[in-house]
Structure 1
Amino acid sequence: MPYNLNPSNSDTRVFKVAAVQAEPVWLDLQGSVQKTIDIIQEASKEGAKIIGFPELFIPGYPWTPWANNFLECQSVLSQYNANSLPLHSPEMARICDAVMEAGATVVLGFSERDGGSLYISQVTITSDGKIANHRRKIKPTHYEKTVFADGSAQSIYNVVQTEHGRVGSLNCWEHIQPFLKCHFYAQHPQIFVGGWWPAFPPFTGGSPYIVSGEASSRMTQLVAMEGGCFALVGCQVVSEAGAKKMKMTGFPWFKFPGGGFSTIYGPDGSHLTEPVDPGVEAILYAEISLDKIAEVKIVADMMGN
């Protein structure tokens, strides 16, 4: 059947998008929900119509198992479980109400508690305050597998229609899963949020380049170019106090404060924002129009001709 994009990739209307670089309220569900609402309200006052949050912003990304042995992790992981966010909960309802009041579309990353399992989840909440998409990271990465379960089949459907275009979402190393990406592009995303962990400068303490903030950002940049879509990079900041609470201090890959690398990419892979200090909280904004997608797809379109 014919597929009609509305608005189309040639739509010239200009609107503002926002990428969040912020420190979570570590291991604190209620504090995390309030900070999420505060950020939504701030971005909305600046005119943002699409707002992208980091991976696992509620209640923070648990680097803890990477940096410690099992016994040293337990107190943190116990609190982590207790402060994760069920999909159907009063806390999620508060966030949805805030999104509706803001009149924006929000992609939020959170640790979802469902029964006896945790998931690396994302929701896309549209301007009417409804959850238009709920998905779970298909395959957790490395030590994430000791904390989080695999996503379910429905999670490959990660693009939704909004009044400002088709909005998609990916979590972290889903950016380098080729078959998932191909299915993603086939859903015609026009804007997407890449939700990311806090990651640090390349080769810090002997870390592989692939886990650095620079490499992570480039993964999102590549998806923007492959898919011909705008990309919002949302990621976390870790302060010295946050690192201490999450038992991250002393691990050679990390440098505090740091972890941030948020940016916004155009569909040709260009930077649409200025660099931000990796240790500073910020909301990055860009004014975009979908007709830039058509300009790129005339040159390169992997899903069309």
Structure 2
Amino acid sequence: MSNTKKNKMVRVAAAHVSSAFFDPAAGVEKAIKFLTEAAKAGAELVVFPESFIPGFPIWNALSSPISGHANFVKFAAASLRVDGPEIKAIASAAAEQKISVSLGFSEVASYSAGCLWNASVLINAQGIIVNHHRKLVPTFYEKLTWSRGDGAGLSVIDMPFGKVGGLICGENGNPLSRYTLMAQGEEIHCANYPPIWPFKDPRDSEPYDLADAIRVRAAAHCFEAKVFAVVSSGFITDENLEMLCDDEEALAILKASPRSASMIVTPSGTTLGETLTDREGLVIADIDVGSLVELKQHHDMAGYYNRHDIFHVSVNRSRHKPLHDMVNHSPNSQAQTSSTLEESLEIINNI
């Protein structure tokens, strides 16, 4: 009997790299450096960490809210517009190197210098942004920095090498977010994480094992969705820690907190290539997207192994807006001006 299985090999890369905190220009330079290295190694897709530019707001875990104003102001000033020059520079480099890029960054709204989102973009090998996602819910102390996102970016994009989706950090444990990607035929999952996640004082109790939490989330999604996951986490240097902490107690907590890890995970929950934790670099592996079809005969959560007649999942893909203009163009609009104004004011007051 001939082997009818169709191989579809793709080389992917996860960047385990440190951020240039509060310095978007340096962040762009570093992103271009590593995407170029990944392209030269033959990768068709490279994934960068959560909020790689301009860094992850770790200080929220360590200081009181009233002590974090200065860092928030600096962070907001260093955050990126999705249509800004920094993203365009990275997109141009992706086109030049002919590689697709998943980039985590802190996004600032066009209408408010203080409205930020934890965001990611997927850029194709032609340098075009094909998806733009904002993390649905900021986790724990992230709420001091980022706003809630929306469903517009919960999309799977059909790329030449496979169908690509992605989620940010804790979203990788959200069943409905993950199912939304499964239901669109996701084959390659991009997951990005911070370099460190202080959850409780690791000196007084068993520390939160970030690397293990990342591995468990990735393995669960890969097994359930029958996908490969490219997991990119940040790396943090001693220089980063000392710059972010002017308090010895906070510095001691950070130094004792477990670090994150970058890895490439298979549908069986195993990893391909090395797992990076304690140094910067690229995790590179070849994955066979063609192998996923056979696995779906066993469990296909978006297909025969679901009951669409029982369960109904819908997604609101509209972008959040701070203002909705209501204009009445009818001939009798003058008589309706008062009610229209009242409706508009009601909408504005409820934002």
Instruction: Check the 8 A contact 1:268/1:296 in 2, yes or no.
Output: no
User: Would you identify which runs of 4 or more consecutive aligned residues in structure 1 move more than 6 Å?
Assistant: 200-203
Opposite residue 51 of structure 2, the aligned amino acid is: L
Is 1:77 matched up with 2:72? yes
Residue number in structure 1 paired with 2:28: 33
Q: CA deviation at 1:213?
A: 2.2
Kindly report which structure 2 residues correspond to 1:8-47, keeping only aligned pairs within 5 A, or say none.
11-47=6-42
Instruction: Check the 8 A contact 2:12/2:45 in 1, yes or no.
Output: yes
Instruction: Check the 8 A contact 2:58/2:197 in 1, yes or no.
Output: no
What TM-score do you get using the length of structure 2 for normalisation?
0.78
Q: CA deviation at 1:250?
A: 3.4
**Percent identity over paired residues:** 28
Gaps of 5+ in 2: 305-351
Residue number in structure 1 paired with 2:118: 120
| Alignment partner of 2:143 out of 142, 145, 150 | 145
Q: What's the RMSD between the two structures over aligned residues?
A: 2.2
Instruction: Check the 8 A contact 1:222/1:269 in 2, yes or no.
Output: yes
Residue number in structure 2 paired with 1:244: 242
Residue number in structure 1 paired with 2:97: 102
Gaps of 5+ in 1: 1-9
Opposite residue 155 of structure 2, the aligned amino acid is: N
Q: CA deviation at 1:179?
A: 1.5
Q: CA deviation at 1:205?
A: 2.9
Relative to 1, partners in 2 of residues 1:67 and 1:98: Cα closer, same or farther, differing over 3 Å?
Answer: same
Instruction: Check the 8 A contact 2:61/2:199 in 1, yes or no.
Output: no
| Alignment partner of 2:157 out of 160, 179, 186 | 160
Relative to 1, partners in 2 of residues 1:65 and 1:184: Cα closer, same or farther, differing over 3 Å?
Answer: same
Relative to 1, partners in 2 of residues 1:127 and 1:11: Cα closer, same or farther, differing over 3 Å?
Answer: farther
Instruction: Check the 8 A contact 2:275/2:283 in 1, yes or no.
Output: no
Q: CA deviation at 1:255?
A: 2.6
Q: How many pairs were matched up?
A: 294
- C-alpha distance in 2 between matches for 1:256 and 1:141: 21
Q: CA deviation at 1:129?
A: 0.6
Instruction: Check the 8 A contact 1:133/1:158 in 2, yes or no.
Output: yes
- C-alpha distance in 1 between matches for 2:205 and 2:139: 16
Relative to 1, partners in 2 of residues 1:13 and 1:212: Cα closer, same or farther, differing over 3 Å?
Answer: closer
Q: Is the partner of 1:194 in helix, strand or coil?
A: strand
What TM-score do you get using the length of structure 1 for normalisation?
0.90
Q: CA deviation at 1:270?
A: 1.4
Relative to 1, partners in 2 of residues 1:17 and 1:206: Cα closer, same or farther, differing over 3 Å?
Answer: farther
Could you list the per-position Cα deviations for residues 9-62 of structure 1 after superposition, in whole angstroms to 9, with x for gaps in the alignment? x64132210011000111101000111111110110000001111110001111
Opposite residue 190 of structure 1, the aligned amino acid is: E
Residue number in structure 2 paired with 1:129: 127
Residue number in structure 2 paired with 1:293: 292
- C-alpha distance in 1 between matches for 2:48 and 2:288: 21
Residue number in structure 1 paired with 2:88: 93
